[in-house]
Amino acid sequence: MRRRRSLMRDVVGFGVIVLAAAIGYFAFPDNLALLTRIIAVALLVLSLDLVTGYCGVATLGHAALFGSGAYAAGILSAHYGINDPLLMTLAGLIGGALAGLLSGLVMLRAHGLPQLVLSIALIHLFHELANKMSSFTGGSDGLSGIAPDPIFGRFEFDLFGNTAYVFAVVMLLVVFVLLRILVRSPFGMLCRGLKEDPLRIRAMGASPKRAIVKMYGVSGAVAGLGGALNAISTQVVGLDTLSFTQSAEALVMLALGGTGSLFGALAGTVAFMMFQDYVSSVNPFHWLTMVGALLIAVVLFAPKGIYGTVAALLEKRREGRP
């Protein structure tokens, strides 16, 4: 019964994502670049949820994986002339996965606050490395000259962002389905157990470090896909993809939507970026104050995040609890 209910919830959630994507396409035809950017960042927040929400690893350096994917895809196009969007996406996946494995190995050398400091150090090291390797990355000027070919030789990346948006939506749906399967697999359950009681998991004979490094690799692959999507859609990669601000905002979006839930990661990303875009256009001088007020309100009145709080209320109503 529980499995059937869970399956129905997934089907409904998947349908909501498809419906929201379709509404976005027809309701905001002149703002598809923003919607594509939201999907790219959503992939970053989903990847962050894998290590923070499911494994309990505190990090403020996850943009290093996003930026690694973006630069891998951009360098492949700008320096080697390989402009196939699918190959560029694959390069971003590999670049992000390698950065994730490296980050996981470093992060597991500490716990708690020292671990958080390590993540901040990592993002600054990745940022400085990209800045110094200006012959490949473009340094502070950014990496330009990215020119993705039409997908399957037919669908060109036009100025209006139609192809980029559809490509982004398809990528998000595929990744989301695969991640739902992953987090409900025995490996996903193991990672949840590590967050709740690592001592018991260790007593059962499992290796917490190995599991977290594997999850970091998967997380890096997802973040790398987001970075590659960002590079393909904007056709430029800047140092801001490796910024501490990007990492901090991703963590804020995750907390806003609710940790330990892929739907929460999506909800938090969409809510934060749409609200940020709206208030910055309405009041360009005090929009940060409004964003701050929103975050304070969510933390005080919905500590489980937007999706987590709504899901808890619906569960109470279903069970007939007050």
Q: Which segments of the chain does DSSP mark as H helices, in order?
A: 2-27, 32-52, 63-78, 85-107, 113-132, 134-137, 162-183, 186-196, 198-203, 208-234, 244-257, 262-282, 287-301, 305-319
129-139: pLDDT as tens digits: 999 999 989 99
Residue 268 lies in a domain: no
63-79: pLDDT as tens digits: 999 999 999 999 999 99
pLDDT at 198: 78
Which has more confidence, 316 or 292?
A: 292
Cβ neighbourhood burial of 124 (10 Å; 0-12, 13-18, 19+): middle
In the numeric block, which tokens belong to residue 186? 């025995």
In the DSSP assignment, the letter for residue 60 is S
- Residue 304 pLDDT level (bands cut at 50, 70, 90): confident
Is residue 95's pLDDT more than 90? yes
Q: Write out the residue range of the structural domain in which residue 31 sits.
A: 2-243
Residue 285 lies in a domain: no
Residue 12 lies in a domain: yes
Residue 117 lies in a domain: yes
Which has more confidence, 171 or 314?
A: 171
- Residue with the two structure tokens 């349908």: 15
Q: To the nearest whole percent, how much of the chain has pLDDT over 70? A: 96
When the pLDDT of each residue in the chain is averaged and rounded to a whole number, the result is 89
Is residue 276's pLDDT more than 60? yes
Residue 51 lies in a domain: yes
Tell me how many domains the chain contains: 1
Q: Give the pTM.
A: 0.94
Is residue 322's pLDDT more than 60? no
Residue 60 lies in a domain: yes
Is residue 3's pLDDT more than 90? no
Q: Is 199 helix (H, G, I), strand (E, B) or coil?
A: helix
Residue 281 lies in a domain: no
Map 96-165 to HEC letters: HHHHHHHHHHHHCCCCCHHHHHHHHHHHHHHHHHHHHCHHHHCHHHCECCCCCCCECCCECCCCCCHHHH
216-267: pLDDT as tens digits: 999 999 999 999 999 999 999 999 999 999 999 999 999 999 888 899 999 9
Euclidean distance between CA atoms 246 and 37, whole angstroms: 13
Residue 135 lies in a domain: yes
Q: Is 10 helix (H, G, I), strand (E, B) or coil?
A: helix
Residue 17 near residue 266 (C-beta atoms within 8 A): yes
